Structure 1
Amino acid sequence: MGETPPEEYPHEWVDRYGPRAHAPQAYPPQAYAQPAPEAKRHYQATLAIRCFVGIIGGGAAVLWALVVFVVLSSAFDTNPATDPHGYGIVFGVLIAVPLSLFWALVLPFAAPRHRWGRAFAISLLTLVALNALVFWALSVSGAG
């Protein structure tokens, strides 16, 4: 039978592995470290861009709502002297459709990157529904 090597004792571990200045920890100190400055800067830049895109897209949506208000108020107005030639309707529709497409394509970029697909789906469905509602209201008014 072969002989088994003698069992090592803790005082022999120091000779083999060297002295330890501190006790072993469950989690290394790197787990609690702050993110790298580059990652923090990247996050701040991404957040600033998302805020800027949200402001631009929200402003376009507000402008679109004002144009739609002008179009529908011109279409449903009972006083023919307010818009006798219907320029509010004509130019309003010409401005409202591209503007709605702009906010529908810009606003999803204000969402977090992993939600862009859902944001685009919601945005484009909203675009179709709201434009259909506006054109239905124009046809009901007799102006469309």
Structure 2
Amino acid sequence: MGPRRAPSTRWRLPIAVAAGVIVTVAGLILLRCVYIALRSRLSTDPLTDPHGYELIAGTVLAFPAAAVVAVAAPLLVAPGPGRTRLTKTVTILLVVLTPLPLIALLTA
């Protein structure tokens, strides 16, 4: 048997990998939702989204995706200054990205 590691160090890498996958998928969903909502809102072609379903769905789905990113992103790094820096960066990005679909919906 090898040396025993503390439970926190034993699970750190699997948790970081799982958090990385979750953050990547949720982040891509968030970016896609923002893109769909803004494309629908800024399009000059009325046949792009005639009923506004893309605008509504992009707005509604952006918020849960942003919440998942906000919760899972700090799990990517070990506790300490790296986690604080990552949390601040993710918070700034989410504060900038998340309102865009809502603004697009409210100004439509």
Instruction: Please indicate the TM-score interval, normalised by the length of the shorter structure.
Output: 0.7 to 0.9
Task: Indicate if the aligned counterparts of 2:36 and 2:54 stay in contact, CA closer than 8 A.
Answer: yes
Q: Among residues 73, 95, 100, which one is paired with 1:128 in the alignment?
A: 95
Instruction: Report the structure number with the largest CA radius of gyration.
Output: 1
Give 1:82's aligned amino acid: T
The count of corresponding residues between Structure 1 and Structure 2 is: 106
**Which consecutive residues of structure 2, in runs of 5 or more, have no partner in the other structure?**
none
Task: Indicate if the aligned counterparts of 2:23 and 2:73 stay in contact, CA closer than 8 A.
Answer: yes
TM-score norm. by structure 1 comes to: 0.62
Separation in structure 2 between the aligned mates of residue 116 and residue 48 of structure 1, nearest angstrom = 17
Deviation per CA, 1:32-60, whole angstroms, max 9, x where unpaired? xxxx6211886353112111111111110
**Which consecutive residues of structure 1, in runs of 5 or more, have no partner in the other structure?**
1-35
Give 1:63's aligned amino acid: I
Percent of paired sites with the same residue:
25
Separation in structure 2 between the aligned mates of residue 129 and residue 67 of structure 1, nearest angstrom = 14
Give 1:83's aligned amino acid: D
Residue 47 of structure 2 is matched in structure 1 by 81
TM-score norm. by structure 2 comes to: 0.80
Bigger helix fraction: 2
Q: Matches of residues 19-30 of structure 1 in structure 2 within 5 Å? A: none
Residue 106 of structure 1 is matched in structure 2 by 72
Q: Which structure exhibits the higher relative contact order, with contacts defined as CA atoms closer than 8 Å and separated by 6 or more residues?
A: 2
| Structure 1 position 126, deviation (Å) | 1.8
How big is the alpha-carbon RMSD for the aligned residues of Structure 1 and Structure 2?
A: 2.6
